[in-house]
Each structure stands twice: as structure tokens, then as C-alpha cells.
Amino acid sequence: MSQQELSEKDLIDKARKPEQVAVKLHSFYHGKMQTMLKSQVRDFDDFANYYNPGVAGPCRIIQADADRVYELTNIWNTVAIVSDCTRVLGLGNIGPKAGYPVMEGKALLFKYLGGVDGVPICLNTTNATEIIQAVGWLQHSFGGINLEDIASPKCFYILSRLREELTVPVWHDDQQGTAIVMLAGLLNSLKIVGKSIKKVRICLNGSGAANIGTANLLIAYGIEPGHIVVVDSKGILHPGREDLEEQKREFPDKWHLCQITNEGGIKGHLTEALKDADVLISCSRPGPGVIAAQDIKLMANDAICFTSANPVPEIWPWEVLDAGVRIVGTGRSDFPNQLNNSMAFPGIFRGVFDVGARAITDEMCVAAAEGLARYAEEHGLSEKHIVPTMQESEALIHEAVAVGMKAQELGIARIKISRDDLYKKSKSIIVASRGMHDVLVSSGYIAPAPE
């Protein structure tokens, strides 16, 4: 049965089914992650080597040379997944306890896809200053910080401050991860339709963390800001938006986009923004029915639409195609061209950690997007394959290598390593991580999932 033959109710029920299965699995396993040994305990005498008194040796070395902590501990491969749980999935502000399963799930993806050890940290504060202070206190226990599900607009301020103040790489997946996958998909879609990224008009529907992050990365890539039109719930962003001018201290990133985007001075709402647009990237509220097919018909020939709301896109993909669009992407795995940030953050941090990068820059994010796009192109571009799928796990290794090489080029890597050796290193860690999972399952130490 085709997607078109399914009723909207069937599709929505299908989208909600994972929630039912998830409750059963979470209850059965009592969570998703645990702490495991990575060093061999040969006999009980090894306790004196790994702990007291032998551990004083590496402590003294690190005291004399702080960077040796990356050699003598697992900090180099450990990321803190920090959230105040104010913007969790489509659930909103649900609090640190209710948000914990999401952060634990993020840790599972980090480990299985990227071989990275993630630690969920759900903070019992929603105050931006306190979040910054808490992360600052935590930074010396981790090789990197992944900010997650923090509400806009404070998420922009928190990321900016932490990138300035911390000595470890800081990343906000809702901004940067989404932006990387959108850029990768856009690069390959434009190759298929034969349009220049320097000339296309791009409409961003939604002005939360995802689309502001996407706008920033598109501009960092070299797209003219004036070729981008951003739409929020009240209309198109432009310098005359008095409501945003009055709130520019609260929404500085949004107000900045008012100043630099929309060179044509278009006013109105999404309908006006879509007229003759080549690209629509929508990260707004779940559909269907949020975007009208008649508005999609206003776009240019061979248009590209990424409607990425979850769990249901703003408009069904077949409606977009029937409206004349050439390429469609969504956030769902049951439609072609899933644009999922899970194809970004595991590879990003794998590359960051494997070269000991001190930061995650816009240039590294661009390199990640280009790495993903290149992998998809090498494995056969089509209108239904513009980015690698979750099954193409090799793509994450290529992304990691692209990120690690860029960090070395920028002079912010502690480790100098060749491309070939970096590929081998990244691959071996990811393969080992999955191998350990498989061994634990086959041996029965991870119980079979219930039917």
C-alpha cells in the first residue's frame, strides 16, 4: 500500500506507534545506558594499579601537564549531554526527570553510531546564567559539551557564551546538527536540479534554533544573506518588524537576520515568501496542514522542499510532489530523504575527539556537511537519495575524517594525524563500539528485547 493510500489517521497512528514500543522497551531494560569497564582486571592486585595507591602516578603527571589528561583518562572520548529540558522534542518544557530518557537516548546514539561515551546531565534550572555556570563547573570532567533541548532564544546566548569561555568544544545539536544535515541535503539537491547555490532563493519557515542555526551555517558556507527569506509565526523578517525591534535584546539573533536577509524587502507571510523561491526549509510546528499545497505551487520550477517537523511534516510529501516540487525531504525514516541530525553529531564528535580539537567551528560544520554530501554523491545521487541513510554508517566515518582534517588545518587540534590514519582510527573505534554491543547481546549479558 502506498503512502497516498493510507489515511491521515493511519499515518498519525503509525507515527505514534514508536511511543508505545518505547515504553515497553524502557520498562524492560530500566533505561538504555550503563557504565562498562574498558580496561582488563587481570586479578584483584590490579585494583592497586587502577585505584589507590597506583593511581597517584597519573594524577601527578596530569597535575604537572594538564593536557596529559587526554592520554591517561577517558575524558578525551566523553561528552556531557546537557539540557534544562525546556524544549524537548515536541513536548516542550517537561522538566529534568521527564527529559532524562531523551538525553539517555542521545547517549545511546553517540555510542552506537560514533563510539562516543555520552553522559546525560539534566539540570534543575532554566536560568541561562546558572546553566552557563553549571557547564563551566563541569567542563574539566569532559572532552566536549553537547547542549540539547534548550528553549530559544536563550539557547543562542548560552552557546555563544560557552564557546567563548570554555576550554573544551561546545556544540548545540538543535542548531548546528540540524543545519549540517540541511546543508548536506541542499548541496546534493542543487546538483540534481542543476541550480547554483550562489543564485537560488531560499525560504526558511520557522525561526527557532533549527532554522536560525541553518541560516547561520548557510551564510557561513557563502550564501548571500539577501537571498534568504525567514518567516516566523507573525510573518517575514525584515528591518521594519517593529515587534522584533522592540524585543531585539531578547531575540538578538532574530533581529540580526532582519537586518541582513531578504534583500528584496518582501513583506507578508509564507505565501509571499514562497513566490518564486527555489528552496523551502521548514522547521516549524507538526502538521499536516501547516503549509498549503497552493502555496507550494508558487515556488520556482524544480523546487526543493525540506519539511522537517516531527512527528508529522508540515505537509505530506506526496502533496508537495503533486504541487510540482522536484525533491522533498522530511525528518521521518518512512519517507525518502530523511534529514536527521543523528547523521551529524556522532560523526562530528568522533572527528573532534580523534584529533583532540579544542573547539567546533563553523568551518568544521561546513566540512561535516560536505563530507556527508560527498559520501551520498559517491554512492549514487537521486531525487530519493540526497543524504546518507542511517544504514550507511560508513558515512559517519567520512564525516569524522572531514571534521578532524579541518580542525588540523585550522590549527586547533592537539593531535597531528594523516587522513588515512585518521580514517583507520575513527573506523576502529566505531566498529569496536558496535562489536561490544553485539558480543553482549550474543552472550546474553544484554537480554533480548521483548516482542
Helices 345-354 & 362-378, crossing angle to 10 degrees? 120
Which residues, other chains included, contact 86 with Cβ-Cβ below 8 Å and sequence gap of 6+? 92, 93, 126, 149, 150, 151
Beta strands in 148-237 (DSSP E): 170-172, 202-205, 228-232, 235-236
Q: Which residues are catalytic?
A: 51, 106
Q: Which amino acid is at 354?
A: D
Give bridge partners of residue 88 from the DSSP assignment: 92
Which residue from 209, 76, 53 is spatially nearest to 143, judged by alpha carbons?
76
For residue 305, the tally of other CB atoms under 10 A from its CB is: 30
- Rounded Cα distance between 447 and 443, Å, is 9
According to DSSP, residue 324 is labeled: T
Distance CA 185, CA 107 (A): 25
- Which secondary structure element, helix H or strand E, spans residue 258, and what is its range? helix 252-260
Residues 278 and 303: their CA atoms lie apart, in Å, by 5
Sign of the CA dihedral running 22, 24, 29, 31: positive
Q: How far is CA 59 from the centre of its chain?
A: 35
Cα(137)–Cα(121) distance, integer angstroms: 13
Residue 3 has a CB neighbour count (10 Å cut-off) of: 13
Residue found by looking up cell 543545519 in the block: 179
What is the end-to-end Cα distance of the chain in Å, rounded? 25
Using alpha carbons, select from 422, 430, 424 the residue that is nearest to residue 392: 430
| CA 118/CA 80 separation, integer angstroms | 6
Residue 185, phi-psi category: left (phi > 0), alpha (psi -120 to 50), beta (remainder): alpha
Nearest-Å Rg of the Cα atoms of the chain is: 23
